[in-house]
Amino acid sequence: MSQFAYPLMFLLLPLPFIVRHLLPALKGLHGDALKIPFINDLEKISIKSGSLWNISSENSSGYSRFFWMLYLVWFLLVFALARPQWLGEPVRANNESRDIMLVLDISTSMLGRDFALGNQRIDRLTAVKKTASDFIKKRANDRIGLILFGTRAYLQAPLTYDKNAVEEILWSMQAGMAGDSTSIGDALGLALKNLNNNKNIKNKIIILLTDGENNDGSISLPQAVKLAADEGIKTYTIGVGSQNLFFNAMLGYAHGIDEKGLNAIAQATKGQYFRAGNTQDLQQVYNIINQLEASQNQDRFLRETKELYYIPLLAAILSGLALAFALRRAE
């Protein structure tokens, strides 16, 4: 696709005709002629009737061949001033992308079957897989990383644009793979460390999901809160699972969610804490985060632009040289 950066420049095309009719004619050796500064030089040209270089002779339109040659140079100069450009195909801009680290609890307590999908009872981890997968699909312009934690925290997927790879790891994870206890502090510390590896990305967020409290690991929750606040990376925390303590006890989970600690992490990093007691709540939480962290560039496109003005400019220069050569030959 091509366009002109300054199409209004074409309004200058009639200017030579206007000037020719407004300036007074000069009576000279060869009759009426346009009064131009170098007319004395032109008068010295010996005209050869019927010659190829008979540039002063007029045609039926009343304009000499010399005039049309000058006008060609003028046309090419105006064409160059209009700045012709070639435009490439639109390409989505990705300069405002985010680095998003998903930090997911896969301790054995995530096997609690207090969630549902349709009419079927499912465990918490299956609900997390479904909702987190939907969230990943919506983040086309962002890099996604995945940390799984239980007794220990493990980086399962470094930050990448390969969403399919992250989803494959997400769907393959099993409760208990990282141990039975919950190390929220270690998981958060690992997420902060990996996000800080790339200084070029300014927009970084952590989404930390758990159904328990920090009961293991080398970093306590107060230390994790301070660490997150010092790094200044916005952290969204999600507590999942039934709020019914009797139901949790029946499942064998004596501990509940440390909502106070999760809320402290979110507040210290200017994030937000969410509580999800069922699949619908969890889906809504991810939708809210998706809206809060909307991709600023998802509707912006860039096009490669190549300037072509040098082509008519070069043609104007060559035409001017050809005209000068013609005048020399006609002397």
Q: Please, are residues 204 and 98 in contact by the beta-carbon 8 Å criterion?
A: yes
Q: What is the pLDDT of residue 45?
A: 47
Do 23 and 137 belong together in one domain?
no
Position 297 in a domain: no
State residue 103's pLDDT score.
96
Residue (of 242, 275, 281) closest to 259 by Cα position: 275
- The reply to whether 207 and 143 lie within a common domain is yes
| Predicted local distance difference test score (pLDDT) of residue 41 | 52
pLDDT at 96: 63
| Number of separate domains in the chain | 2
Is residue 130 domain-resident?
Answer: yes
Does one domain contain both 49 and 115?
A: no
CATH number of the structural domain spanning residue 147: 3.40.50.410
Do residues 158 and 250 share a domain? Answer: yes
How confident is the model over 232-263, as pLDDT tens digits? 899 999 999 876 555 555 555 545 788 999 99
On whether residue 298 sits in a domain, the answer given is: no
Domain ranges, residue 50: 2-88+303-330
d(CA 281, CA 67): 80
Report the candidate in 190, 182, 273 with the shortest Cα–Cα distance to residue 224: 190
pLDDT of res. 255: 56
Ranges of residues in the chain whose predicted pLDDT is under 50: 28-31, 33-34, 39, 42-53, 254
pLDDT for the residue 35: 53
CA distances from 253 to 27, 112, 115, 221, 320 (A): 111, 9, 15, 20, 90
Tokens 């301790």: give the residue.
107
Quick one: pLDDT at residue 273?
A: 95
208 and 240 assigned to the same domain: yes
